[in-house]
Structure 1
């Protein structure tokens, strides 16, 4: 069997090809064939499961009042559903200078509810910025003083990852555990939540079983990809510049009959698999027009990969911040994924107008991708050697690394404000479509919360177990 040996390039600046290549040392999958066992029989949902929640919905208890906790909860729920509720409702809790009343410090339930609500903030509304600062400070000070274990646990979880930033099902799983420890919990609601969680978990397990079977021969972190909802491809951090130019040009042409026979086997395989994947999707959907939108976004993504590689081969060129973000925001893959995620939603939920809107990079899409890029840059130095927004800030504006990181943190906050704004009334797209983009941002917020939890799957192992493996005990 002939083994392909890539040509040895000239030594550049005293560095060999291996030194120039910026391939990260990614951890292999920790799950292997684990999810193959979740076939259709093991994840079968009994007839009783859907019926029990229906019966429990008929039983409810509620108490209405205008305290801080209730008002904040109403505000958060309404804004989550797209209603532009004014922030003035919180002014009765502040003084003439906009400072929150000191008497609220002992109201931990109220502080927690306000803290969660305030993360639905948008631009130019200082009262919610102040609420986050005020609540986070006093919640941290109260964590070890609160008598309720449940409340302390919920407050700690919120400070680590507020509801708006968290993956919905992971947040639900954590809340179930904390709420169960509350002596005053509503048993009916708790049981309903558990049944709902386990029901959806079985669906996810079945999907993972199918995906693992499909990709069994590939060395990919399938469980983590399912958990976060996206993939990665490191060919553009390994191949030579000439190999990548051939591959990128071929992808731009998108010729299903092209084989790239003069290229290395791994480049040929990548190209064939990419073309075959989209061809298969097109066949399944009956050559739906929406697949063409997904293909165009994939082309744009891979071109951005190539542009980044050219920086590395150009004496490790450090671009301006604007130049960097123009390319590297796209290279997160978030714009490609936001478009591709709409493909399977069906014509009853997504129209051609929606695809035209998303591919024109609306503010919510830009903000989600920007957030992913900036958060990645915070931890990327651990695995990669390439330009980052931190380097660009430092070089372009003469900032220290700490000051550059401070600038980036503020831009992350502003990105959330942009996304929140885009979800409030008179939106150009429906809430299910907008939430696809929001959920991508949530995934980024989570995986970069403790280093790079995607690149190193051991860091996310407990999340995967909690969400996809361990059922909630009923």
Structure 2
């Protein structure tokens, strides 16, 4: 009986894995892998981690699938090899009679494609690899010109006295805005918190917002019980969920007819519909009513824009939201659009002024950061003049990425350090992937593993020495910066993560040189590290200084499932996009 039960479980597990592979394929990914029991576990965990399957849930459709019907419907080739593996080759979705692609809940719609894509199999190749004879003059690579952005911010003027004047005015207005917030009644305080977030002002009142929401959540039932305004209910829902307080989506059932459809009268409330649209982006996989709300609000908002019945500023606000919802946008980019919108609404002059000067100060702070970074890039290290033009100068772009996570003025050091760290990761990728010969790549990898020059480094080209020195010197600067905080393990942990990235890049270089096509599992084991999610998170911890504990690094080192899923998803999406750019 136990053998029979085990056999049934194995069959069910395999069907789950095939269903997961089908779900992944339906997202536009072509998969070519060998399904042994270990591979089955990998596919299932990846699908669950990405939200494609629920834990311990088998879709009814998969229970009805047999191996024969699956073979017939999906034109799958199955070969049992000597290791009793199961070779599964899933064709692209265009060749299958499959249901529509289901976009995962809570993921930005802008990340998915609107037009059919070409898909090609991933294959390592040495066609673009530099020659291995060491002759730099014979190497073919795409030359990248210096970045116009980097040069611009290096030379743009900055008036420090203007920053000081703005700080003084902020110091005067902040207590007044705080008083308005704290003196408001429960519902009005929540609505004002939404205003502060949208205007880019929430960082001024983090402690106050935390205390308000903690207190208000204890009486959320009374607050929502008799509230019938769609805008108010949606904004309260959005604020609490954004700050980590769970509110049931059942609060929106009051806006439905007995038939289950949303009430027709709602269509006359443009702002209410827009707020429900924003709230729907905080749904979970169990919030069916919010999935319905997203469909309802999206189509109606599109009709409002097309019909031209809204005031121009509201129509533009709706278009911005349809392009990218507030949940998935950067706080400062939301503020850029929301401040002029709020100015054309019935607004509080003091709050509007506070928003404008706060945003202006942040702009100047960002420029000051970039001037520090570009001075470091051009004068202190001057790596650009020491290496061939194979490097992609993405200093400003890296800073923009970092600003998405650390936008507040008080974390300027974190932005600068993390931008430097991301620049190192980019140089490593460019060097291994675009220029270094295999022997040079090996010597660079050995040197970084030793964290000192390899004995053979003296005979290597000057560019390779410059890259190594740049990395070692920058990490030495990190160590000096963080030394007073007494946390040497922070830099040490980042060095180990960087070594893992280097090792993965070198493994890729060897595959390319040998024209080796790795199996799916072999590839992902290396590629999930090479995509630098683990290293990037370690860099975030390091840049926060005292806030990063040893436990945080131990957690990351354990490769938690959440982070692993993010890494795997990022790797596959990056590969698909990169290959499509190559073939188009």
User: Does TM-score exceed 0.5, indicating one fold?
Assistant: yes
Q: Compared with structure 1, are the counterparts of its residues 329 and 118 closer, same or farther at alpha carbon in structure 2 (3 Å cutoff)?
A: farther
Query: Which residue matches 2:305?
Result: 143
Aligned residue in 1 for 2:368: 206
Give the structure with the larger helix fraction.
2
- Which residue does 1:331 correspond to in 2? 530
Work out the number of aligned pairs and report it: 372
Which whole-Å CA distance do the structure 2 matches of 1:19 and 1:365 have between them?
Answer: 37
1:44 aligns with: 163
Structure 2: state its 5+ residue gaps.
Answer: 1-123, 133-138, 189-226, 385-392, 403-421
User: 1:108·1:139 contact (CA, 8 Å) conserved in 2?
Assistant: yes
Q: Write the mapping of 1:450-461 to structure 2, written as runs, cut at 5 A.
A: none
Contact 1:248/1:306 (8 A) holds in 2:
yes
Distance 1:105 1:58 in 2: 36
Of the two, which has the highest radius of gyration? 2
- The equivalent residue for 2:400 is 227
1:186–1:323: structure 2 CA closer, same or farther, 3 Å change rule? farther
Aligned to 1:158: 321
Other-structure match for 1:462: none
Tell me, in whole angstroms, the C-alpha distance in 1 between the residues paired with 2:528 and 2:440. 24
Normalising by structure 2, we get a TM-score of: 0.57
Distance 1:278 1:364 in 2: 28
> Secondary structure of 1:308's match?
helix
| Aligned match of 1:272 | 469
Residue from 29, 46, 59 that aligns with 2:147? 29
CA–CA separation in structure 2 for the residues paired with 1:270 and 1:163? 40
Quote the offset at 1:50 in angstroms: 2.6
**Helix, strand or coil: the match of 2:458?**
coil
1:376 is aligned to 2:546? no
Q: Does 1:350 align with 2:570?
A: no
Alignment of 1:86-105 (within 5 A): 86-94=248-256, 99-105=261-267
Matched-pair contact (CA < 8 Å) for 2:125–2:513: no
* Structure 1 position 257, deviation (Å): 8.2
Indicate conservation of the 8 Å contact 2:126/2:512, yes or no. Answer: no
Aligned-partner Cα distance in 2 for 1:101–1:315: 61
Q: For 2:433, which of 237, 242, 245 is the aligned residue? A: 237
What pairs with 1:288-367 in structure 2 (closer than 5 Å)? Answer: 288-315=488-515, 317=517, 319-320=519-520, 322-347=521-546, 349-367=547-565
In the superposition, relative to structure 1, how do residues 289 and 69 fare at CA in structure 2: closer, same or farther (>3 Å)? same
1:256 Cα deviation from its structure 2 partner: 6.6
**Alignment counterpart, residue 333 of structure 2, candidates 161, 170, 180:** 170
CA 1:337/1:164 → structure 2, altered by over 3 Å: closer, same or farther?
Answer: same
- With over 3 angstroms needed to count, the CA separation of the structure-2 counterparts of 1:192 and 1:243, relative to structure 1, is same
In 2 relative to 1, CA 324–204 (structure 1 residues): closer, same or farther, beyond 3 Å? same
SS at 2:551 equivalent? helix
CA separation of 1:382/1:137 partners in 2, compared to 1, >3 Å: closer, same or farther? Answer: same
| Larger relative contact order (CA 8 Å, sep ≥ 6) | 1
Following superposition, the deviation at residue 340 of structure 1 comes to 0.9
Unmatched 5+ stretches in structure 1: 1-11, 386-450, 452-474
Change (3 A) 1:109 1:185: same
